[in-house]
């Protein structure tokens, strides 16, 4: 969902860092070969993730929801030299695709791929995090937050994607719509939790920044 007019969207993208060639290729191949390519972050949001990661300069990143690896590569751009990005996806069919692009990106020795349910994998990761990107199944956002909050380094950053859910968060709620219901609860929870300082940015489909106090 795009909240800006096409003309403004184009202007914004034209005045943003250009998309690296490898990520253009990853986007093209995702569109050709993978289901639901709209889930990929893409040029503008990818550059947002990259600059936020560079500003944070994280030693350890956790990504929940790798998909074809686009956002992982953007986030890896900001890692400290000896930093590590852990990325989890439940869909094992994506593993080879991700691996191929991580290798081409030059970050493969700094990226650890996990295949499985993030709810099972996060508890076995024996590390703290400086930056977390939550971008998997929406009904579990709140559970992911609960699993990571105790493992965040002070001053760390939690990014949560698609929090405006195509604008459905301000429309009348359909009882069967579990995603919107979950995101409404999640957005409220972030706002109220005293352990984080939260700003919801209306970027693309909504990207929340929560700084851990």
- Give the footprint of Ca ion on residues 101-160 (CB under 5 A): 135
Segment interacting with ligand SAH, rule: CB under 6 A, options 8-16, 83-91, 96-104, 164-172? 83-91
205 binds ligand SAH per the rule CB under 6 A: no
Is residue 24 within 8 Å of residue 42, measured between CB atoms?
no
27 binds Ca ion per the rule CB under 5 A: no
In the chain, what is the greatest distance between 2 CA atoms, to the nearest angstrom? 47
Which two tokens mark 183?
A: 């995101």
Locus of tokens 């914004």 = 12
67 binds ligand SAH per the rule CB under 6 A: yes
Is residue 165 within 8 Å of residue 180, measured between CB atoms?
yes
Query: Which stretches of 77-151 are assigned E, i.e. beta strand?
Result: 84-89, 111-115, 129-134
Query: What gap in Å lies between CA 143 and CA 20, rounded to an integer?
Result: 34
- 3-state SS, 160-197, equals EECCCHHHHHHCCCCCCCHHHHHHHHHHHHHHHCCCEE
Segment interacting with ligand SAH, rule: CB under 6 A, options 7-15, 82-90, 167-175, 202-210? 82-90
Identify the DSSP state of 150. Answer: G
**Binding partner of residue 89 among Ca ion, ligand SAH, none, CB under 5 to 8 Å per kind?**
ligand SAH
135 binds ligand SAH per the rule CB under 6 A: yes
Segment interacting with ligand SAH, rule: CB under 6 A, options 51-59, 75-83, 131-139, 191-199? 131-139
Number of residues that bind Ca ion (CB under 5 A): 3
Q: Which one, 127 or 195, has the nearer CB to ligand SAH?
A: 127
Q: Which one, 27 or 135, has the nearer CB to Ca ion?
A: 135
Per the rule left: phi > 0, alpha: psi between -120 and 50, beta: everything else, 204 is: left
**Binding partner of residue 160 among Ca ion, ligand SAH, none, CB under 5 to 8 Å per kind?**
none
**Positions that interact with ligand SAH (CB under 6 A):** 39-41, 65, 67, 70-71, 88-91, 117-119, 135-137, 140
């Amino acid at each position: 969902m795009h909240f800006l007019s096409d003309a403004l969207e184009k202007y914004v993208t034209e005045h943003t860092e250009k998309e690296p060639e490898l990520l253009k290729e990853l986007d093209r191949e995702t569109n050709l070969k993978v289901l639901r390519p709209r889930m990929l972050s893409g040029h503008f949001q990818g550059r947002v993730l990259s600059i936020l990661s560079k500003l944070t300069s994280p030693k350890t990143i956790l990504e929940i929801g790798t998909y074809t690896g686009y956002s992982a590569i953007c986030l890896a751009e900001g890692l400290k030299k000896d930093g590590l990005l852990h990325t989890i996806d439940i869909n094992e069919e994506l593993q080879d695709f991700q691996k191929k692009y991580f290798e081409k990106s030059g970050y493969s020795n700094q990226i650890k791929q996990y295949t499985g349910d993030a709810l099972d994998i996060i508890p076995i990761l024996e590390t703290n995090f400086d930056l977390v990107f939550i971008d998997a199944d929406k009904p579990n956002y709140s559970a992911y937050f609960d699993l990571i909050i105790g493992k965040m380094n002070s001053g760390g950053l939690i990014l949560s994607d698609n929090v405006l859910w195509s604008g459905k968060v301000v429309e009348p709620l359909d009882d069967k719509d579990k995603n919107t219901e979950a995101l409404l609860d999640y957005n409220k929870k972030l706002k109220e939790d005293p352990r984080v300082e939260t700003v919801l940015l209306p970027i693309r489909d909504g990207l929340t920044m929560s700084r851990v106090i």
